[in-house]
Structure 1
Amino acid sequence: MQKQLSKPAKPSAAFSYIWLGIGFILSLFTFGKLNIPLAAWLYPLFLLRFVKTQHPLTGFIGVLLVYVIDALYWHYQVFGSLFSFFLVVLLILAIVQPLPYLLDWLLSSHWSKSWLGTLIFPLSWVLIEYLRTLVSPVGSIGTLAYSQYGNLPLLQLLSVTGLSGVVFIMTWLASMVNWAWQKQFAWRSTHGGLLTYSSLLALILFAGGLRLALFPPVAQTVRVASLTIAPHAMGQVQRQDGDAIQAMIDGKGSLGDRQKVQAAYAPLQDELFTRSQNEARNGAKIVVWPETELFVLEENLPKLKARAARTASQSGIYLELGVGVFIKDAPYTRNIALLFDPQGKLVWTYSKTHPVPSLDNSTPGSGILPFVDTPYGRISNLICYDADFPSLALQGGQKHVDLLLDPSSDWAGIDPWHTQNATYRAIENGYSLVRSTDGGLSIVVDYQGHVLAAEDYFTSDPEGITASVPVKGTLTIYSLVGDLFAYLCMAGLAGLIVFSVLDTRRRQRATA
């Protein structure tokens, strides 16, 4: 008589809370200053393991608590306070984020014999993150892909799929390992799925490495300079005239406040123009100032433009100014970038498309990126927070831009990761990026993500950076097809859901 083999015991629900704890701890190291890239690959694996060993409601609540605590922690890291408009947004996103875990629990049982069911989790994660990027006021901030900054072989995938491809391959690991885990990693029944995932990951990394090794930027270069005002000088302005500046921002500025603001920024203006001329003498052909490095009264803007035109013409440079303008009508400020060419002509006045909610009350721009053809390639422009919206930056790729200028302004709570996130736009769209940042990391990267120059406002004595930047970008698949991969993921998920529903009905009829 053949001996009957007993089935392995199902892990106890109490024991599964260990996986929840591990997943929670790892999740704290997937964003901000404490980011550990490997943690972002592993924490969904353990959270998913917890959900699969629990009742779906218990699993959903457990994962929801993890994301709520993460949101509170992230918010405190960034703002150093317990409440703001952004906390409301983050808590809403935290409620939505557990949905891929719930969908996987509900649908994967229909695919227990096939590894195809492991696709439910990454496809639904891509769906959630993509829709969030489109409708959320924080744009793409918080996407899992940003945890992989510096992994250039992996990040070359951005040039094909955008953020969605990186998110997909990262989250597929969680469901694939859990599927094999449930089968006790029995090679006979899991080798097909494990080999498929491993081969795809190896192909992505190999292809990315091949692109970096065989197709580096080889075009002629142009010397670009990014300028910032030293912290002690900006701090002095805030200490002496901060109340007057805030009154102007709120639309309550008196005549005395207007005079204080004008006097406070006059020496900074002189310094920036002098340093721009010095950079030109040292060979720079493009000089970029940070976002709102100067504030001017509306009636004084023509004088600033005239001075910038003279400086650009006399020095033979393209000069981009990040300027805040105090206006008389609500919302009382404009956040603009002005580009002057070597003939002193004003090429564009670009208004920030996405003012930061509750922090930047300036008038939004048209949402159309300007561009100009120059001896140093086609140049375009956006401002700081605009770079958190990939669909806006995609315009640069579609217009075959070679160099994107990005005047920016950050603060300690988002330094350096906010600038690091922006570098993804360069890889996606095939242009070099010059991000000149007050209160954060200034950086120059080429279209493969190589850092050509960098300087952090808080860890050095910032005086500005210079870099030799390729004058020619490259065509990327992402710039041609946009978020096609995200749409394919949505279609794939819809197909799996339809099959699961039909399979449920078939089983019901069979047992009727």
Structure 2
Amino acid sequence: MKSNHRLAATAIGAAAGSAILFFLSTGLRPVPWLTWLAPLPVLLMAPRVGRRAAFGLAVAAWLGGESAMWGYFVDTVQIPVPVAVLIIGGSALLFGLVVLLARALIGQRRPLLATVVFPAAWVTVELVMSQAAPFGAWWSLAYTQASVLPVFQIISVTGIWGVTFLVLLVPAAAATVFAPQGWGRAREQRQTRARRWQPAVAATAVLAVALGYGAWRLHSSHPQTGERVALMASDREIDPTPVESAAGHDLLDAYVGGVQALSAQGIRVVVLPEKAFTADDTSLPTLTGPLSRLAQQRHFDIVVGLILKRDNQFFNAAIDLPADGGAPVTYFKQHLVTGVEDDLTAGHSQAFLPGRQDRWALAVCFDLDFPNLVRDYRSHGASTLFVPAWDFSDDAWLHSRMAIARGIENGMTVVRAARQGALTVSDPYGRVTAEARTSGPSMVSVTAWLPSPASSTLYARFGDWFAWTCVVLFLAGIAVAYVGRSRAGRRGTPHGGSEQLAVRTAPTPETAAQ
């Protein structure tokens, strides 16, 4: 009885430990190295308790960790409470099922398969969420490693799915190595002990290859061009400002003055933030006239974000005003934020700055949460993205790093100017060459040299091949676990632990003799 109480306390401690680690290692400002440890306490405990207990521990751990996002979902981005419950609660249930699958394979003495199926299963969950949910690839453990560039380089081959796989492979291997030996004859136990270190060897080899690739890629030379870009944003007016209003005139004057001050630095493109103004076709010249004249006089392009009313529809637009005085290029945001931009109409077309051999493209903020949009741009020759954006203050680091991830995936430079957030310029390897944060009504600007165009990546060419490989591994794991369970049921032997909290140990000589 005492041992059951001790085991119950240990199990609760494991769930609490994983919850704390997930809480600290995910969310808006994650501690990246803790993500590699977060699932470990629950994974270590799962083979030592019954199925229901293992499922409950995993669900509780994920719920505790993801509770950090509740305020952001409900208050900041104003997701309806039922939807927030579905996101956090649904993902917790899925995490519990993934842990159960790994537990079943460990119980069937398939340590190597259990090690790879656990991360493959979660990659499958993330892939399905990115395809089915309206927020794209926003929801992924991979972004926790955005500041660890040697790890993050693997996304140029695998997409973000490769980072998720690595982060979960390591704790899965550790949990498998230290899993209980289980019941069985002496010969079977010797074979199990001989195989138990295979996951550690495999995980170490995979991690070494990934880190070696990352180090090699970061040390490869990549020259700069002779062209500079500037980003400018202010939080002076939080809501989009009608350009014909007094506040609109004041804001426009502030931007014009700021851009003029930068012109002596040899700027080639200036990027202003998303939804800085509102206009229709009648009032639009009030905005584009002064900016276009300035662009032509100072010989640089100006990209500005605004809400544009056209044909009785409202669009989230980015307009490029060319340096040569040519016709403006207008891009309409393709992916709108559900609940926040339901009154807007989505665009469907790409847009490029005119007169460029290495093509410069336009996108807007949330578009960069969708890997396929940026990959499609890359397939059409884009080498640099100019992105007006609007963060929500708290998520400035995370959202800017998602944009940087799209650049690494496709070998592209990303120039992103956000109000209530971060202004960043990143090269095709994810190195941030310039960064600043907006703060109140003051005008904030940053300049940087543009990197030269990089070669296309394997991810840009082959897309989500790694994620779909993980789907196959996941389905294979389910099939093997099901077959093993059926065989165990026919033999009348344990197939994954009792339904009680009880330690699974090998029999003593006395009990074996009985």
Q: TM-score band, normalised by the shorter chain?
A: 0.7 to 0.9
CA contact (8 A) 1:11 1:53 kept: no
Q: Which runs of 5+ in 2 are unaligned?
A: 182-191, 494-514
Aligned residue identity for 1:391: N
Match of 1:199 in 2: 205
Normalised by the length of structure 2, the TM-score is 0.85
- Whether the 8 Å CA contact 2:237–2:441 is kept in 1: the answer is no
Q: Deviations over 1:199-229 (max 9, x none)?
A: 110111111101111x232252410011112
The correspondence for 2:79, drawn from 74, 77, 85, is: 85
Count of residue correspondences: 478
2:125 aligned residue (128, 131, 144): 128
Give the 3-state SS of the residue equivalent to 2:227 in structure 1.
strand
Residues 458-511 of structure 1, C-alpha deviations (whole Å, 9 max, x = no match): 499652110001131321000000001001111122222223333444455666
Identity, % of aligned positions: 24
Corresponding residue for residue 165 of structure 1: 162
**Superposed, which structure 2 residues align to 1:267-346 within 5 Å?**
267-326=250-309, 329=312, 333-346=314-327
Match in the other structure for 2:237: 234
- Partner Cα separation in structure 2 for residue 367 and residue 65 of structure 1: 41
Larger RCO of the pair (alpha carbons < 8 Å, separation 6+):
2
Separation of aligned partners in 1, 2:172 and 2:93: 14
Deviates more, 1:471-480 or 1:445-454: 471-480
User: What residue in structure 1 maps to residue 222 of structure 2?
Assistant: 217
- Of residues 458, 465, 480, the one that matches 1:499 is 480
How far did residue 430 of structure 1 move?
A: 0.5
Task: Select which of 154, 172, 178 maps to 2:151.
Answer: 154
- Give the CA deviation at 1:444: 0.4
- Code of the residue aligned with 2:419 in structure 1: it is D
Shift of 1:191: 2.4
Q: CA deviation digits over 1:232-268, x for unaligned, max 9?
A: x336xx7xxx9xx6xxxxxxxxxxxx79x62211121
SS at the partner of 1:125? Answer: helix
Question: Is the partner of 2:137 in helix, strand or coil?
Answer: coil
Partner of 2:113: 116
Letter in 1 for 2:459: Y
| Partner residue in 2 for 1:389 | 370
SS in 1 for 2:324: coil
Indicate the SS of the match to 1:349.
strand
* Cα offset, 1:301, TM superposition: 1.2
Structure 1 residue corresponding to 2:396, chosen from 415, 418, 422 = 415
CA distance in structure 1 between the aligned counterparts of 2:6 and 2:211, rounded to whole angstroms: 35
Alpha-carbon offset, residue 369 of structure 1:
2.8
Check if 1:463 corresponds to 2:430: no
1:454 maps to which residue? 435
Q: Distance in 1 between matches of 2:153 and 2:403?
A: 15
- Does the 8 A contact of 1:428 with 1:479 survive in 2? yes
- 1:1-33 CA distances to partner (integer Å, 9 max, x unpaired)? xxxxxxx99982332111111001111112344
CA distance in 1: counterparts of 2:111 and 2:55, whole angstroms: 24
Partner of 1:249: none
**Partners in 2 of 1:495 and 1:10 — Cα distance?**
37
RMSD over aligned CA atoms reads 2.9
Deviations 1:111-170 (A, max 9, x none): 414422222211110000111111212222231011112111111101000011000111
Determine if the alignment matches structure 1 residue 398 to structure 2 residue 401.
no
Once the two structures are TM-superposed, the CA of residue 61 in structure 1 deviates from its matched residue by 3.1
Task: Say if 2:458 is the partner of 1:477.
Answer: yes
Is the contact made by 2:304 and 2:319 (CA closer than 8 Å) also made in structure 1?
A: yes
SS at match of 1:43: coil
State the one-letter code of the partner of 1:197: A
Q: In structure 2, what is the Cα distance between the partners aligned to 1:10 and 1:506?
A: 32
The aligned residue for residue 265 of structure 1 is 248
1:31 matched residue in structure 2: 26
Asked if the contact 2:111/2:177 (under 8 Å) is kept, the reply is: no
- SS in structure 2 of the partner of residue 403 of structure 1: strand
The answer to whether the 8 Å contact 1:155/1:166 transfers is: yes
Q: What do residues 67-114 of structure 1 show as CA deviations (whole Å, max 9, x unaligned)?
A: 344444313146647x94254333223323442442442441464144
Q: What one-letter code is carried by the residue in structure 2 that aligns with 1:492? A: L
Structure 1 CA distance for aligned equivalents of residues 80 and 130 of structure 2: 15
Cα distance 1:468–1:139, how it changes in 2: closer, same or farther (>3 A)? same
Q: Is the 8 A contact 1:431 1:446 kept in 2?
A: yes
Q: Which amino acid aligns with 1:315?
A: R
Match of 1:176 in 2: 173
Residue by residue over 1:443-465, the C-alpha shift from the partner in whole angstroms, topping out at 9 and shown as x without a partner, is 00000011110001149965211
Which residue is 1:55 aligned to? 50
Paired residues of 1:400 and 1:473 also in contact (CA < 8 A): no
Q: Which piece of structure 1 moves more, 475-484 or 414-423?
A: 414-423
Compared CA separation, residues 172 and 367, structure 1 to 2 (3 A): farther
Contact 2:54 2:99 in 1 (8 A): no
Query: Does the 8 A contact of 1:416 with 1:456 survive in 2?
Result: no
